Structures are given as structure tokens and as C-alpha cells.
């Protein structure tokens, strides 16, 4: 077991001018064979590895990442965490995740900077008010802490909002336990904790093929050679269809760019997260002071991790309309990630027709919030070769049986 982070280790390392900190995780060469190979070193893949080792005692595990840890959507998202989904299946899965977030820094011994500053979802039309109230009621029946706020209550929470703009605010849902977390830290924290439990984390190791024999997976081809595996768990977000194709599987997924921006740092002005599905815009303020702003998906499909200018122009117009006081704040950076969107805006966490091959994908615009819960249920699915009750409904079969879980209202663009 490596060094535990604590006030004592901080003081001890301070005495040697912080030159002797251990590396957070090893960088081993891949072994010839593993019990489980996880493809994709984003938050979900790393969380899966961690819970496989922690909850199921499966430690002969490798996480193969084609680039660097968290270089995919994990470090490109706007970090919004909430669990106020409409349908029981989704709400309970995201709520499991929320409960894991609440103890995650302690569990991982790594500060993921989870900040429960609340999340507001604005309603701009009478129909949106009705839909929001319905979702609030559904959440309350699932013991999720969502409440309906009047425009006056929204204004009290967010004094800079213009309630009477072109997008009038007629109400909002508010989840006080929602918030944000530091995305890189989530990848690093899971990586460090998984490594401590014996998981091999191998970066710069892209998977180029999935080998099968007699309908069962036998391993993966990688840029570092063939790696044998009893089980292969694929968690590659925007690249899911590419990996599925390697195994002869067709996924009901479209890959779209999704963009975000951050502004220059300004003094604290927003202390919650504000989202508007209708205008495809959401905003929070990071601990550094940057405004973190997200857009809707670019409508075309593609794998380039960038998007088109008119999408973010529309988002910024909406932000300025709702928060005129921000009109002269300058934007510092903009980027895109590729999100894997399913027809019912819900993930696939599932076994496949190939024995020993599992897919966790389709989180679309909203999987960051699910990172711990997704890893937890996926680890269960891989370890037991059967889904946990929390993810049983998210099987790939639902696209054949028609048992879809339509979360477009709660997922939409909003995270």
C-alpha cells in the first residue's frame, strides 16, 4: 500500500521540500494475460477497475487507455452532478451515484472537490413548468431532494438572473445536493485507488481489435501487442461504435460533438449551477473564478473533438440574454468532446451476445455525474456476468424489446 494522503504526509513531505512524494500510480508494461481488461481510461473505466478490485476482489485487471487518463470526456465536461431524472430506473441509478459521490473523497483518499452547491433547471414556458413539476413529484416519490422554486425564489438564489428576458423564467427545479466536482481529480483519484489495489493502468495503449473464438472473447489487440483476457469491458464513450464494430456488434448510438467554454476569472458571482434545456445553455463558476458554460450538441455526427462556431454563439447569446451583467466577460477557452447518444437518452450497461464482452456506453451529454455509480454497477455486471438490479433495465436488449427509458426531458442537453 502506498502513501496515504493526510495532514501528516503533507507535513512530512514538506520537510523534504515535497521532493519525495510517491507517484500516484505505477506505469507497468502490460502482462500477457488478465482476468479483466477494461478498454478506456476515463472516469467510468477507472471506476469500474476500482470497484472490481474493491467490491469483488478481482485485482488481475488492466485498464488500457489509448491516450492519457481522463483525456476523453472525463476532462472535457462541465462537471455537473445531479440525480433528478424522471423515471425510476434512471433516478435510482443516478441517486446511487450521488450517494457514492458524497463519500468519494474519503473512500479514494483523494480530494475530488465535490461541491454540493445545488443545481437549478429553469422552466421558461407553461409546458416546461408542468413538466418540471411532474419531475419534481417523481423525484420526491424516489426520495430525491428536488423541489420546485417560484421565479422569486430563483431570483433570491441567483440575483444576477434576468427573469423577464426573451426567455422568461416561470419557475425551476432545484436539487440542493447536486453540484460540481473536479473532473481530472476524479480520474486521478480512481486511478490511484485502483492502482493501490493492484490494477495495472496502461496509458498510450490503444485497442485495435477484439479477438473472439467460438462466440467468446479471448483478448484484445493493442498497439503494444495482443493481451489475453477472460473478460473485456469496453468503456470508451464517443468511440463506442468503433470498438463495437471490432467485435461485430452494431450499437444504437450516434456520436456527436458537445462543446463547452470557460471565461476569464472573475470574482464570485454565481454560487449554484443554472441550466436551461430550452435555450441549450448552462453555467456555473469554478473555484478559480472562471465561468464554466456548456452548449447543446452539434447536430452532425463525427469524431473530431471540436464543434462549430454557430453552436457556441447561440449558447452565449442565451447566456447574455439571461445574465446581461455577463455581457462583457471575455471567454478564455473553448473545446469539444464526442458524446455517444442513444435513442432514449439513457446509457447501455450490458452484457453482449459475445460471451465475456461487456459494454458501458451511451451516456451522451450526462455521464460525468454517473461516474462512481456507473463503475459500481458495471463492476458488478462484469464480476457476476449478470447485471445489478440498478442497471438491469439498461441492457442493450431494450432496443429489441422496446422497453426504452425515455429520459429526453431530464437529459436533453442538460447535464
Ligand X SMILES: Cc1cc2nc3c(=O)[nH]c(=O)nc-3n(C[C@H](O)[C@H](O)[C@H](O)COP(=O)(O)OP(=O)(O)OC[C@H]3O[C@@H](n4cnc5c(N)ncnc54)[C@H](O)[C@@H]3O)c2cc1C
Q: For binding to ligand X (CB under 6 A), which residues are involved?
A: 39-45, 64-67, 71-74, 76-80, 206-207, 235-237, 239, 243, 258-260, 294, 337, 339, 363, 365-369, 415
DSSP state for residue 16 in the 8-state scheme: T
State the nearest-atom distance from the C-beta of 246 to ligand X, in Å. 8
For residues 219 and 39, give the distance between their C-alpha atoms in angstroms, rounded to a whole number.
11
For residues 286 and 283, give the distance between their C-alpha atoms in angstroms, rounded to a whole number.
10
Residue nearest to ligand X (CB): 42
Dihedral over alpha carbons 44, 48, 51, 52 (to 10 degrees): 180
Query: Of 170 and 236, which CB lies nearer to ligand X in the complex structure?
Result: 236
Query: Of 45 and 412, which CB lies nearer to ligand X in the complex structure?
Result: 45
State the nearest-atom distance from the C-beta of 410 to ligand X, in Å. 12
State the nearest-atom distance from the C-beta of 305 to ligand X, in Å. 8
State the nearest-atom distance from the C-beta of 233 to ligand X, in Å. 11
Query: Of 380 and 415, which CB lies nearer to ligand X in the complex structure?
Result: 415
State the nearest-atom distance from the C-beta of 338 to ligand X, in Å. 7
Q: Which three cell numbers stand for residue 21?
A: 512524494
State the nearest-atom distance from the C-beta of 119 to ligand X, in Å. 10
State the nearest-atom distance from the C-beta of 176 to ligand X, in Å. 17
Query: Of 128 and 298, which CB lies nearer to ligand X in the complex structure?
Result: 298
For residues 1 and 24, give the distance between their C-alpha atoms in angstroms, rounded to a whole number.
11
Query: Of 93 and 260, which CB lies nearer to ligand X in the complex structure?
Result: 260
State the nearest-atom distance from the C-beta of 83 to ligand X, in Å. 10
Query: Of 5 and 77, which CB lies nearer to ligand X in the complex structure?
Result: 77
For residues 358 and 349, give the distance between their C-alpha atoms in angstroms, rounded to a whole number.
8
> How do beta strands 216-222 and 225-234 pair?
antiparallel
State the nearest-atom distance from the C-beta of 226 to ligand X, in Å. 14
C-alpha distance across the termini of the chain, in Å: 36
Query: Of 276 and 365, which CB lies nearer to ligand X in the complex structure?
Result: 365
Query: Of 72 and 171, which CB lies nearer to ligand X in the complex structure?
Result: 72
Sign of torsion over alpha carbons 314, 316, 321, 322: positive
Exposed / middle / buried, residue 4 (Cβ in 10 Å: 0-12, 13-18, 19+): exposed
State the nearest-atom distance from the C-beta of 289 to ligand X, in Å. 18
Query: Of 76 and 398, which CB lies nearer to ligand X in the complex structure?
Result: 76
For residues 15 and 256, give the distance between their C-alpha atoms in angstroms, rounded to a whole number.
49
Query: Of 5 and 192, which CB lies nearer to ligand X in the complex structure?
Result: 192
The string of DSSP letters for 341-398 reads: E-TTS--EEEE-SSBTEEEEE--GGG-GGGHHHHHHHHHHHHHHTS--TTTGGG-TTH
Amino acid at each position: 500500500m502506498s502513501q496515504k494522503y493526510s495532514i501528516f504526509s503533507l507535513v512530512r513531505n514538506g520537510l523534504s521540500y515535497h521532493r519525495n512524494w510517491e507517484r500516484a500510480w505505477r506505469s507497468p508494461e502490460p502482462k500477457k494475460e488478465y482476468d479483466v481488461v477494461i478498454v478506456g481510461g476515463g472516469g467510468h473505466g477507472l471506476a469500474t477497475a476500482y470497484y472490481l478490485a474493491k467490491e469483488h476482489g478481482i485485482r488481475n485487471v488492466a485498464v488500457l487507455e489509448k491516450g492519457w487518463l481522463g483525456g476523453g470526456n472525463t476532462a472535457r465536461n462541465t462537471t455537473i452532478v445531479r440525480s433528478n431524472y424522471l423515471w425510476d430506473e434512471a433516478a435510482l441509478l443516478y441517486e446511487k451515484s450521488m450517494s457514492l459521490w458524497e463519500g468519494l473523497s474519503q473512500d479514494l483518499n483523494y480530494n475530488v472537490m465535490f461541491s454540493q452547491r445545488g443545481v437549478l433547471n429553469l422552466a421558461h414556458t407553461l409546458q416546461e413548468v408542468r413538466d418540471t413539476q411532474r419531475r419534481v413529484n417523481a423525484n420526491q416519490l424516489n426520495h430525491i431532494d428536488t423541489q420546485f422554486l417560484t421565479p422569486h425564489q430563483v431570483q433570491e438564489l441567483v440575483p444576477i438572473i434576468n427573469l423577464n428576458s426573451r426567455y422568461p423564467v416561470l419557475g425551476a427545479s432545484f436539487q440542493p445536493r447536486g453540484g460540481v466536482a473536479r473532473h481530472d481529480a476524479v480520474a486521478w483519484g480512481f486511478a490511484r485507488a485502483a492502482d493501490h489495489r493492484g490494477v495495472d493502468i496502461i496509458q498510450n495503449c490503444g485497442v485495435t481489435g477484439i479477438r473472439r473464438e467460438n462466440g467468446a472473447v479471448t483478448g484484445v489487440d493493442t498497439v503494444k501487442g495482443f493481451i489475453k483476457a477472460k473478460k473485456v469491458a469496453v468503456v470508451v464513450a464517443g468511440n463506442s461504435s468503433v470498438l463495437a464494430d471490432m467485435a461485430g456488434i452494431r450499437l444504437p448510438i450516434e456520436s456527436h460533438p458537445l462543446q463547452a467554454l470557460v471565461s476569464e476569472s472573475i470574482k464570485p458571482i454565481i454560487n449554484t449551477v443554472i441550466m436551461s434545456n430550452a435555450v441549450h445553455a448552462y453555467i456555473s463558476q469554478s473555484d478559480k473564478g472562471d465561468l464554466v458554460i456548456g452548449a447543446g450538441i452539434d447536430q452532425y455526427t463525427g469524431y473530431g473533438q471540436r464543434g462549430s462556431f454557430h453552436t457556441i454563439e447561440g449558447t452565449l447569446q442565451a447566456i447574455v440574454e439571461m445574465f446581461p451583467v455577463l455581457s462583457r466577460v471575455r471567454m478564455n477557452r473553448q473545446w469539444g468532446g464526442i458524446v455517444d447518444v442513444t435513442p432514449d437518452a439513457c446509457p447501455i450497461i450490458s452484457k453482449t451476445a459475445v460471451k465475456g464482452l461487456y459494454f458501458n456506453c451511451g451516456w451522451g451529454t450526462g455521464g460525468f455525474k454517473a461516474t462512481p455509480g456507473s463503475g459500481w454497477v458495471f463492476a458488478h455486471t462484469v464480476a457476476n456476468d449478470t447485471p445489478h438490479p440498478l442497471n438491469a433495465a439498461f441492457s442493450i436488449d431494450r432496443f429489441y424489446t422496446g422497453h426504452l427509458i425515455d429520459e429526453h426531458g431530464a437529459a436533453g442537453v442538460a447535464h
